[in-house]
């Protein structure tokens, strides 16, 4: 009886495991800082100077909820001015994958408040 309970507990733990992937962002926009960088509802980093890369962030959720597809939103700061932007493209994170999003001078963005 004790062995059956242990097996049931192990099966329960195994079946409740979450799927996950990792994401990081690189800022390759000249002479700007990116602040409050988010991928959908997931916070990636507070601030990235030109040439910097965020730490890897693990996105973990229930099995069957991947792939996850979101745009990247951030504040772009330059010469004392700050504007909120979102990428026009969406980025897909699959289970057990490492996604690197590179923001460059030519990345298509929009200002949702306009």
The answer to whether residue 89 sits within a structural domain is: yes
Which of these, 105, 101, 94, 107, lies nearest to 56 by C-alpha position?
A: 101
Domain with 60 in it: 19-110
Q: Is the pTM of this model over 0.85?
A: no
pLDDT per residue as tens digits for the range 67-112: 999 999 999 999 999 999 999 999 999 999 999 999 999 999 999 8
The total number of structural domains that make up the chain: 1
Q: Would 7 be classed as within a structural domain? A: no
Q: How confident is the model at residue 20 (pLDDT cuts 50, 70, 90)?
A: very high
**pLDDT the model gives residue 57:** 97
Tokens representing 31 are 């002479």
pLDDT in tens, 39-72: 999 999 999 999 999 999 999 988 888 999 999 9
Tokens of 49: 């100077």
């Amino acid at each position: 009886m004790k062995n059956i309970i242990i097996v049931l507990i192990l099966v329960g733990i195994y079946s409740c495991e979450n799927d996950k992937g990792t994401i990081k962002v690189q800022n390759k926009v000249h002479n700007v800082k990116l602040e409050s960088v988010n991928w959908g509802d997931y916070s990636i980093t507070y601030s990235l100077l030109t040439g910097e890369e965020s730490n890897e962030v693990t996105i973990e959720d229930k099995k069957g909820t991947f792939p996850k597809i979101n745009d990247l939103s951030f504040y772009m700061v330059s010469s004392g001015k700050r504007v909120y932007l979102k990428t026009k493209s969406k980025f897909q994170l699959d289970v057990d994958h490492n996604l690197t999003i590179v923001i460059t001078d030519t990345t298509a963005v929009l200002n949702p408040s306009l």
